């Protein structure tokens, strides 16, 4: 008797799409868009990137808004499992880089536990994408020899902060916060109480690398007022340190993009 054929398991590609500018997409990510059967994409993936995908591919939005329940991740995990069980090639497409506050490590652990094959494809993180497009070098020979990256979700409601604020302010010349806009008052107060001067420079980069990008600069004791006046929205990256002081000298994107724009490689 002929044995029934066993359907081979599919494969998941956990892939960074880079920040908003689609020209920053990697070549490997571009190839995967044309090869994969299913694309599970996040909120911050540029829609122009999705238009590069094969017309036969199934596109499923799995992104979270701020405040959405964390159970959304469980749904994403189950979708990866389902489509892999169907023998599909799945592109798990994330904004920025999957391993920098992108939950890529958690998803890789889940796939390992289910014996699903996967690859991890790095992307341009909004960490350096935002800094470069704002004209703020994260390191500079005269101003910064160290950088630390923190999550802004370390809220005042937590009994035990996972951030060692005193150590951070003493050890790093440049401090970068992801997802920190809603906690801006808490962040600035913690930095000041942990040793930073209230005149320490700070920048908020809204919609980094997109044509909607805005850079609001100030210091720790006035940035909250400026952000409210400008009605700054998420997604935003926060950069703290002396490197913010040279932003006006080497700002290039906001002054040039209206006339020359970036080279559109992905039309």
User: 34-80 pLDDT, tens per residue?
Assistant: 999 999 999 999 999 999 999 999 999 998 765 555 558 999 999 99
Tokens coding 56 = 């036969």
The rounded percent of the chain whose pLDDT value lies above 70 is 87
Are 213 and 254 in contact by the 8 Å Cβ rule? The answer is yes
Residues linked to residue 93 through DSSP beta bridges, in sequence order:
15, 41
How sure is the predictor about 133, in pLDDT bands with cuts at 50, 70 and 90?
Answer: very high
pLDDT over 70 (residue 6): no
| Average pLDDT for 130-145 | 97
- Would you call 147 helix, strand, or coil by DSSP? strand
User: 221-261 pLDDT, tens per residue?
Assistant: 999 999 999 999 999 999 999 999 999 999 999 766 644 45
pLDDT for residue 88? 97
pLDDT for residue 66? 58
pLDDT for residue 69? 56
Cα–Cα distance, 43 to 202 (Å, whole number): 26
User: Position of tokens 């994330």?
Assistant: 94
**CATH superfamily of this structure's domain 127-254:** Tetrapyrrole methylase, C-terminal domain (3.30.950.10)
Cα–Cα distance, 87 to 108 (Å, whole number): 18
11-124 CATH fold: Cobalt-precorrin-4 Transmethylase; domain 1 (3.40.1010)
On the CB side of 102, how many CA atoms lie within 13 Å of its CA? 30
pTM of the model: 0.89
Residues linked to residue 150 through DSSP beta bridges, in sequence order:
177
pLDDT over 80 (residue 263): no
Q: Sheet harboring 236-240: ordered strands across?
A: 147-151, 174-178, 236-240, 201-206, 214-219
Instruction: Give me the residue spans of the domains in the chain.
Output: 11-124, 127-254
Are 203 and 247 in contact by the 8 Å Cβ rule? The answer is yes
| Average pLDDT for 7-25 | 94
């Amino acid at each position: 008797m002929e044995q029934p054929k066993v359907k081979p398991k599919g494969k998941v590609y956990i892939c960074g799409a880079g920040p908003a500018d689609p020209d920053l997409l990697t070549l490997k990510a571009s190839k995967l868009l044309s090869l994969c059967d299913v694309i599970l994409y996040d909120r911050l993936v540029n829609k122009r990137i999705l238009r590069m995908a094969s017309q036969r591919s199934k596109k499923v939005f799995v992104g979270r808004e701020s405040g959405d329940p964390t159970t959304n991740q469980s749904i994403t995990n189950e979708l990866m499992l389902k489509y892999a069980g169907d023998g599909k090639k799945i592109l798990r497409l994330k904004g920025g880089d999957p391993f920098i506050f992108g939950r890529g490590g958690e998803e890789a652990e889940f796939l390992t536990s289910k014996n699903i094959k996967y690859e991890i494809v790095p992307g341009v993180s909004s960490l350096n994408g935002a800094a470069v497009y704002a004209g703020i070098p994260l390191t500079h020979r005269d101003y910064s020899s160290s950088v630390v990256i923190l999550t802004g979700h370390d809220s005042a409601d937590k009994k035990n902060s996972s951030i060692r604020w005193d150590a951070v302010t003493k050890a790093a010349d440049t401090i970068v916060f992801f997802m920190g806009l809603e906690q801006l008052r808490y962040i600035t107060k913690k930095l000041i109480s942990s040793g930073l001067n209230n005149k320490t420079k700070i920048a908020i980069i809204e919609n980094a690398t997109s044509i909607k990008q805005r850079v609001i600069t100030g210091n720790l004791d006035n940035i909250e007022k400026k952000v409210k006046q400008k009605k700054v929205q998420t997604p935003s990256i926060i950069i703290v340190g002396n490197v913010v002081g040279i932003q006006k000298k080497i700002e290039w994107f906001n002054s040039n993009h209206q006339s020359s724009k970036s080279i559109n490689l992905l039309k």
